[in-house]
């Protein structure tokens, strides 16, 4: 998704270190969007970011990684979108059940 495609209701953008550039930060600031992007390790002036919000992003990425362990979801065997979505729901439910 491009930054130009963001809707007007967007309040925050959470990105990884790959999106840490002055151009992206200025583009978001011009549109009054808060950037939650951790600075690169070699950056001299490190802008602040919301660490707790970024941690939630990491949890979501972990869930996608667990979903990709399911071969049916990773290779997308299903032709119909609704069948694929139901496979994702089943896999997510099973992952949640195992976590408990």
pLDDT at 86: 92
How far apart are the C-alpha atoms of 25 and 40, rounded to whole Å?
13
C-alpha torsion sign, points 71, 76, 80, 84: positive
Is the overall model pTM greater than 0.85, yes or no?
no
Beta bridge partners of 12: 34
C-alpha torsion sign, points 38, 30, 22, 1: positive
pLDDT at 58: 85
pLDDT at 79: 86
With a cut of 70, which residues of the chain have pLDDT below it? 1, 100
């Amino acid at each position: 998704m491009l930054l130009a495609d963001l809707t007007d209701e967007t309040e925050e953008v959470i990105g990884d270190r790959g999106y840490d550039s002055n151009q992206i930060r200025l583009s978001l600031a011009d549109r009054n969007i808060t950037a939650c992007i951790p600075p690169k390790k070699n950056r001299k002036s490190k802008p602040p970011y919301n660490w707790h919000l970024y941690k939630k992003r990491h949890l979501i990425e972990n869930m996608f990684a667990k979903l990709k362990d399911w071969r049916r979801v990773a290779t997308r065997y299903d032709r119909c979108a609704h069948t694929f979505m139901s496979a994702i729901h089943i896999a997510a439910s099973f992952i949640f059940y195992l976590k408990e």
